[in-house]
Amino acid sequence: MGIVLLIVASDDDGGGGDFEPSAAGSLRVGKGFVPAKYAGLIEQAAADCDAGLPAAVLAAQIMQESGFNPNAQSKDANGKPIADGIAQFIPSTWATAGVDGNGDGKKDVWDPEDAIPAQGQMMCKLLKTAKKHPEYNGSPIELALAGYNAGWGRVQQYNGVPPAAFADGQTYNYVKVIMANVEKLTAPDTSGASGASGEWGPPVEGKLGTPYHQQGGAWSSGYHTGIDFAVSTGTSVRAVGPGKVVAAGPGGAYGNQVVIRHPDGMYSQYAHLSRVRVSVGDSVSGGQLVGLSGETGNAFGPHLHFEIRTGPDYGSDISPLPYLRKKGIGI
pLDDT of residue 138: 86
pLDDT at position 216 is 64
Q: What is the pLDDT of residue 222?
A: 65
- Rounded-to-integer distance, Cα 257 and Cα 145, Å: 29
Rounded distance between C-alpha atoms, residue 138 and residue 147, angstroms = 12
Burial classification of residue 274, based on how many CB atoms lie within 10 Å of its CB (0-12 exposed, 13-18 middle, 19 or more buried): middle
For residue 4, pLDDT over 70 is answered with no
pLDDT band at 15 (very low <50, low <70, confident <90, very high): very low
pTM of the model: 0.59
Q: How far is CA 143 from CA 159, 274, 320, in A?
A: 9, 34, 18
Reported as a single tens digit per residue, the pLDDT across 278-319 is 999 999 999 889 999 999 998 889 999 999 998 888 878 888
Cα distance between the two ends of the chain = 41
The string of pLDDT tens digits covering residues 132-164 is 998 898 888 999 999 999 999 999 999 999 999
Band of the pLDDT at 9, cuts 50, 70, 90?
A: very low
Helix (H) or strand (E) holding 300: none
pLDDT at residue 271 above 60? yes
Secondary element (H or E) of residue 324: helix 320-326
> What is the mean predicted confidence (pLDDT) over 239-243?
93
What integer pLDDT is reported at residue 23 of this predicted model? 29
pLDDT per position as a tens digit, 75-114? 988 999 999 999 999 999 999 999 999 999 999 999 999 9
- What is the model's pLDDT at position 313? 85
The mean pLDDT of 205-226, rounded to a whole number, is 77
The mean per-residue pLDDT over the stretch 40-56 comes to 87
By percentage, how much of the chain surpasses pLDDT 70?
A: 86
Quick: pLDDT tens for 186-209: 876 444 433 334 589 999 988 998
pLDDT at 227 over 50: yes
- How many C-beta neighbours within 10 Å does residue 315 have? 19
**Strands 267-273, 236-238: parallel, antiparallel or unpaired by DSSP?**
unpaired
Return the percentage of the chain with pLDDT > 90, whole number: 53
Instruction: Please provide the average confidence, as pLDDT, over all residues in the chain.
Output: 85
- For residue 314, the 8-state DSSP code is T
Over 176-226, what HEC string results? HHHHHHHHHHECCCCCCCCCCCCCCCCCCCCEECCCCCCECCCCCCCECCC
Confidence (pLDDT) at 153: 96
